[in-house]
Amino acid sequence: MILVDTNVVIRSYEAAAALVEPDARARGDTAKIRDRIDERWRSLLQAGEVGTVEEVLEEIKREPSLRWKRMVERDFKDCIHKQTTQYYDYLAKVGKFVEHNWCESDAEAFSKNAADPHSIAMAAAHGCAVATLETHSPPHVDASGKFRGKVSLPYVAWRFGVRCATIYELFTAPGRP
């Protein structure tokens, strides 16, 4: 199973359009693209191949530009992973790892991020991957020996043995409609 990050859901219509229907995109047939991507999301959700965490849906609900919020709220709400003791244990470990290794302001920004720590913890607890648009890059170390800069979901996921999947993998893996 692959847990989807907020940016994958929000940006999937732009990013996946080139993967799903390149001919339709060239013709400017946005309705066909939107229908095909809706169809793929529903197929993935119904097959139990993707899931998410409550915090991702909360971020999506706050996104003002989404024209397709109803579809997301309707289809994704049944695919939210349940919070377990193991999830809470990993959530604490993720928080401690980031707090210990990043400078205070960067660690605080990550901990306030509604979805990333939860997606990593849920994936670690349940043996899932996380689909994200972020790329894995090692952080920079400052003079104090702490990492500086945005805390990257792929880097923290890697630290906890969670594989990150790309939107390309999500929408084009064998067996996809």
Write down the H helix ranges in 21-139: 22-27, 30-46, 54-62, 69-76, 85-101, 104-112, 116-126
Beta bridge partners of 140: 148
The answer to whether residues 74 and 109 belong to one domain is: no
* pLDDT-based confidence at residue 99 (cuts at 50, 70, 90): very high
Residue 154: pLDDT over 80: yes
Give the C-alpha separation, 103 to 106, whole Å.
6
| Cα 146–chain centre separation | 26
For residue 148, tell me if it sits in a domain.
yes
Half-sphere exposure in the Cβ direction for 1 (13 Å, CA): 20
- pLDDT for residue 42: 79
The answer to whether residues 95 and 132 belong to one domain is: yes
> What integer is the mean pLDDT of 148-158?
91
Structural domain count of the chain: 2
* pLDDT-based confidence at residue 73 (cuts at 50, 70, 90): low
Q: Which residue has the tokens 């960067």?
A: 106
For residue 90, tell me if it sits in a domain.
yes
The answer to whether residues 74 and 90 belong to one domain is: no
The answer to whether residues 153 and 126 belong to one domain is: yes
For residue 177, tell me if it sits in a domain.
no
Q: Would you tell me how many other CB atoms lie within 10 Å of the CB of residue 151?
A: 23
The answer to whether residues 157 and 131 belong to one domain is: yes
CB–CB of 119/129 below 8 Å? no
For residue 40, tell me if it sits in a domain.
yes
Residues 18-60 pLDDT 10s: 655 566 656 666 677 777 777 887 788 888 888 888 888 777 7
Structure tokens at 12: 């999937």
Q: Domain span at residue 65?
A: 2-79
**In the listed set 27, 60, 79, which residue is the last one of a domain according to the structure?**
79
**In the listed set 79, 110, 143, which residue is the last one of a domain according to the structure?**
79
pTM exceeds 0.95: no
Calculate the average pLDDT of the chain. 80
The answer to whether residues 45 and 109 belong to one domain is: no
CB–CB of 13/133 below 8 Å? no
Q: Would you tell me how many other CB atoms lie within 10 Å of the CB of residue 87?
A: 19
For residue 38, tell me if it sits in a domain.
yes
The answer to whether residues 102 and 40 belong to one domain is: no
For residue 24, tell me if it sits in a domain.
yes
The answer to whether residues 70 and 91 belong to one domain is: no
Residue type, 144: S
The answer to whether residues 72 and 94 belong to one domain is: no
- pLDDT for residue 176: 45
**In the listed set 45, 79, 113, which residue is the last one of a domain according to the structure?**
79
